Structure 1
Amino acid sequence: MKPRDRILSRLRHGRAASPAAPYPAPQAQATADSAPDIDAMVTALQAAHAEVFRMDESAWPDHLASLAEQRAWQQWWVGRDEVASTWQAHGSAPSVTVFEDWERQKSTLFESAPIGLSLAQGGIADTGTLIVESGSAVPRTLSLVPPVHVVVVRENSLFPDMATAMVHYSRHGMPTNLIFISGPSKTADIQQTMAYGAHGPRELIVYLCR
């Protein structure tokens, strides 16, 4: 028997001896437990080295303008969502590039885009995870490439846990692509030393809006 055939035989035998059980469908929690814990969301994000600001939704553009001035953030990359429109219309008149043509703009995005701004359509409170629905209006590269990622998320879009979020999407339609963000990019592959920004944003700024 050839080595390839021996390997396939062992795989088939293992599958027959221990068939994989289907993963149970997520069940919504009881109504009493369905409210997301906002404090837990903040704590989990901060534990993952995200910087979190909680405020009324009307206040985030002014706060971000002040933060941008402090940190000398001048060049912004956005998609075509509502937070992009709000930021472009802000009185601070930021320098904004709308990412809308992959072939024409991809080189500049990868080489010199310092900050991305986007809206998260949801979040998972118990793990401090942001849910970003990417698509043609907001390409996923905006949340993966710039070294700083600023995200606006509304408290009323949060789910208490992953199971509840999946129940929601199973009932209302699953987007083509979902990005789950739990803090800045990090890895400990080299000598088990944690490093940030190895393959994605090294800073995550979150505006949690009421």
Structure 2
Amino acid sequence: MSARDAIFKRLRERTDGPLTPPACDFSVVTNRGWSRAERLEHFERLITSVHGEVIHTTSDDWTRRLAEVLAAKSIKRLALGREHPVAAEAREALKASDVELVDVDRDIETWQREQFERVDAGMTSTGGGIAETGSLWLWPTPDEPRLISLVPPIHIAVLDAESVEDTFFDMIEAHGWAQGMPTNALLISGPSKTADIEQTLAYGVHGPRELVVLLRYAAAQVASA
């Protein structure tokens, strides 16, 4: 009898009844009770504390602010998707600009060198944000592969204000991960950083050196703020 079979045999032959899972108390990871304003304040304070940049805008004006970011940071080649509404809207707004829009829905082997050497920035949508940790979460797709948020020196992420949850647990609950957990979700809490033996931080060594979050509010939300 194998060790595995022996373990299962002992479990099946328990004399004190079947095993029952312990009671779980999730109160420590939820129920923060933050207002919308408090939630967004927590998110912005934490993500900017690690060199993330947050730009407030509206759903009507965000592409203009995107163009300003591209100009201010001298971004000439921007990698982005096609199908997601965020990417489609950005493409429409930038089609007459001098920024080259780089298609990312290609086999990575055909443009790997180009992505590492010639792309100035990658732009993605986000699934939402987590206030408690100042994090974004992304669910990569073939239209928005994970590398466009991990390889270019600048990552521009578009985040809707109403999609920020209090905690990681709240985010999992709100989006039903128990029923359909993503296979490749990304949690991003600032630009790439690493430290040497003396704990001196360096940014951009293993990924983007800058993270820019375009935090979008609906026009009605801004008017009532």
TM-score class, shorter: 0.7 to 0.9
User: Counterpart of 2:85?
Assistant: 82
1:53 shift after superposition: 0.7
- Which one of the candidate residues 163, 181, 200 is aligned to 1:193? 200
1:111 shift after superposition: 2.0
Which consecutive unaligned segments of at least 5 residues does structure 2 have? 1-20, 218-225
Deviations 1:41-80 (A, max 9, x none): 1111110101111121221110121222233211100123
User: Counterpart of 2:169?
Assistant: 163
Aligned pair in 2 of structure 1 residues 114, 31: CA closer, same or farther (>3 Å)? closer
Deviation larger for 185-194 or 118-127? 185-194
Q: Is the 8 A contact 2:56 2:215 kept in 1?
A: yes
Cα distance between partner residues in 1 of 2:110 and 2:25: 42
User: Counterpart of 1:6?
Assistant: none
TM-score (norm. length: structure 2) = 0.76
Cα distance between partner residues in 2 of 1:97 and 1:111: 13
The reply to whether residue 98 of structure 1 matches residue 103 of structure 2 is: yes
Structure 1 segment 48-197 matched on structure 2, within 5 A: 48-80=50-82, 81-91=84-94, 92-93=96-97, 94-101=99-106, 102-168=108-174, 169-171=176-178, 173-197=180-204
Question: What's the secondary structure of 2:61's corresponding residue?
Answer: helix
Computing the radius of gyration from Cα coordinates, the structure with the larger value is 2
- Which one of the candidate residues 46, 49, 57 is aligned to 1:47? 49
Question: What's the secondary structure of 2:152's corresponding residue?
Answer: coil
TM-score (norm. length: structure 1) = 0.81
Cα distance between partner residues in 2 of 1:26 and 1:142: 35
1:206 shift after superposition: 0.4
Amino-acid identity (%):
32
Whichever residue aligns with residue 201 of structure 2, its letter is M
User: Counterpart of 1:14?
Assistant: none
Aligned pair in 2 of structure 1 residues 24, 199: CA closer, same or farther (>3 Å)? farther
Aligned pair in 2 of structure 1 residues 104, 40: CA closer, same or farther (>3 Å)? same
Q: How many residues align?
A: 190
Which consecutive unaligned segments of at least 5 residues does structure 1 have? 1-20
